[in-house]
Structure 1
Amino acid sequence: MNGAAVPEGYRCEALAMECFGGMGKMERHVLGTFRTISPVLALRWLGGQALWIADWIEADPDADPDADSGFGPRSDLERSAWVQPLQRLPVGSTPDRPAELRAWHADRQGQRAAQAHIKGGNPFLVVVPATDFTYTLSVHPD
């Protein structure tokens, strides 16, 4: 072991930052919070929030309630274009934000990489800018 302390727990948040065009004003909306001692449960909660936000933005037209989510196309966290620890996506990089959130949820290999990242005591953020809001899903070790 590298001597790093294992976190005692994890604090999770789902936030929406609303930007008011010409006024230069931003408003923070807490969509949900969660505490757990398990990195697996922390990411499972984040995944549920990602799907909820995706459906909030736009209902999934291809939703099949009996379908297995399977494995995502990304092989690891470093190759992911839409989720990096403490990185913000450039506005306009992916026009379909709901699909982006659903893809992050379905990426099982990326989820495992994220789990190892937060288990090592590091914070983890998924930041998705949309038209009027920027959505942030986060896990912070306690």
Structure 2
Amino acid sequence: MSGGPQPAGYRAEVRVAGPAFGAAGTVQYVLGAVRTTSAEPALGWLCGEALRIADRLDPDPERSAWVRPAMRTAPVSAPAHASVPAPGPVPAPEPVSVPASEPAPEPESLPPPEPVPAPGPAPDCPAELRVWATDPDEQRAAREQLRAGGPLVVRVPDAGGTFILSVRPADSPWPPGGRRMGRPTSAEKAAARQAARADRQTIIERYGAREPLARIADAYGVTPGWLALRLDEWGVPRRQRYGAHLHRRPARRLFRGRMPRRTRTEVRAAQAEFTDRRTEVVTRYRDGESIASLARSFHVGHAWVAERLNEWGVPRR
């Protein structure tokens, strides 16, 4: 180690950053974190997490228990008894005559071919993680960087985001966009709340775009209750409980609370209307409308509609 003052400890963490549905920009989530007294255990834990993530994304066929020897393909070679013709002279191509009535086009009249861009290499995140965790040169460079006192940050891109592996001294500031494990200190709470107040307009826009309140609070490192009080303080109208889930499924499929209790007279009136419109009900059912949809349309029970269809002799689907 270097002769300078050594940090009190190290903390290693694994995060994933990528776009989230309904959120502007990039959202980061902490997949795991640990605090150690020296750099070696932190680096070893980070290598184990890299291999674990790589195996979850794409199992390594060399180490996976479910891969049998017969499943591994060997390079295909020609059999020993196969006869290979000896190389010989290549015959000259036969001349082809072009009729005089069909002259060949001039080379200048043909349009120049358009250049085809070469496709870029697709990110192979599992392979990159395995190489970093098992390559001796990579680990030697990581240890030297930690001995020099600087933080170690490894970014591995994937198709849906980026995995960020980092080791830093415990007295260094927590990286922005991630949450630490454990109870935050008073200074960290105050800094997170001050940052949320400064970004007031962005929070209001994200909440107006129906992003869940808990997700916004997690991005700023504050609690959902504290952020809900700030929205009330800023005069932002609060959504109903089902409003935060409108980005997941259509509004008609959401539960909006229990239906008000009706009197017996109202129930009988709804059933009488259903019976009077028998022809329309049968036609709608045969056209593909479900029993649940008919029950919601006439404000009657699902089982009661099924009983009436059986009573009328309508074949069930």
| TM-score, normalised by the number of residues in structure 2 | 0.33
Q: 1:109 is matched with which residue: 93, 117, 137?
A: 137
Q: Where do residues 1-142 of structure 1 align in structure 2 (5 Å cutoff)?
A: 3-20=3-20, 24-63=24-63, 95-142=123-170
How far residue 25 of structure 1 moved from its aligned partner, in angstroms, is 3.0
**Higher helix residue share:** 2
Q: CA RMSD in A?
A: 2.4
Deviation string, structure 1 residues 61-95 (Cα, Å, up to 9, x no partner): 22267xxxxxxxxxxxxxxxxxxxxxxxxxx6663
Deviating beyond 6 angstroms after TM superposition, the runs of 4 or more aligned structure 1 residues are none
CA distance in 2, matches of 1:99, 1:35: 27
From the two aligned structures, give the one with the greater strand fraction: 1
Cα distance change, pair 20–41 in 1 and its aligned pair in 2 (3 A): same
**Partner AA of 2:137 in structure 1:** Q
Sequence identity, in percent?
Answer: 43
Highest CA radius of gyration, 1 or 2?
Answer: 2
Structure 2: gaps of 5 or more residues: 66-119, 171-317
Q: 51-60 or 122-131, which moves further after superposition?
A: 51-60
Distance 1:51 1:8, change over 3 A: same
Deviation per residue, 1:33-58 (Å, 9 max, x gap):
01001211111001011011112221
Q: Structure 1 residues 60, 25: closer, same or farther in 2, change over 3 A?
A: same
The separation in 2 between residues aligned to 1:95 and 1:2, in whole angstroms, is: 37
- Unaligned runs of 5+ residues in structure 1 are 66-91
Please identify, of 93-102 and 40-49, the stretch whose mean Cα deviation from structure 2 is larger: 93-102
Partner of 2:104: none
What SS class does the counterpart of residue 27 from structure 1 fall into? strand
Question: Matches of 2:136 and 2:45 in 1, distance apart?
Answer: 14
Match for 1:37: what amino acid? T
